[in-house]
A and B are shown apart, each in its own frame.
Chain A
């Protein structure tokens, strides 16, 4: 089954404690993205990756890091989480950018930073 898998689904942490949210896709997609969803603000792109070792900032990259060492994986790293990063996070993948193929989203990770 084609899917984007995020882990964990729920996470409660404290300010300053480094965390990683993993994302994996089994569709051999080139493009992967991270979004955060906040009430009244919709989905905002954090980072995206066009292929292995190629990443770029989205609209709200501050406080986040990403890496793309393998095509299937695109982890989101919060080095020093703060309460304003409490949000619902989604990973997405797309076959490629030029053909505007469908973005497939994971089920989401709900993060609370105390």
Chain B
């Protein structure tokens, strides 16, 4: 049972375009929503994270939008670059579970064509 569902599974975008990856969660106790970026042959690395007390967080070209009522959050990559080509994972956790217990989505393989 996947508590965090992520879509699409793969995404191809042209350089300069906007990449959008969506996630939906079921557990209303989740209170921390990070996105991780993984390059081939490497472990995932934290990209950006949001808490449910805000609806949007922006860091450079990366923005998380959060909709608490719909239990959905999304990652927007503006002006996508070939160097953004990677696998992206959304995740969620709650204070009720051990703080380091992250539940991950299925992953999205992003390809940005030059």
Contacts and interface: CB of A to CB of B under 8 A. Distances in A.
Interface in A33-76: 33, 35, 40-45, 48, 50, 56, 58-59
A94 B43 CA distance: 14
B102 A42 contact: no
Interface of A: 4, 31, 33, 35, 40-45, 48, 50, 56, 58-59, 90, 92, 94, 96-100, 102-103, 105-108
B98 A43 contact: no
B25 interface: no
Contacts, number: 70
Interface residues of B, number: 25
Nearest to A39: B107
Nearest to B49: A100
Interface of B: 2, 4, 6, 9, 32, 41-46, 49, 89, 93, 95, 98-107
Contacts of A4: 43
A100 B43 contact: no
Contacts of B42: 107-108
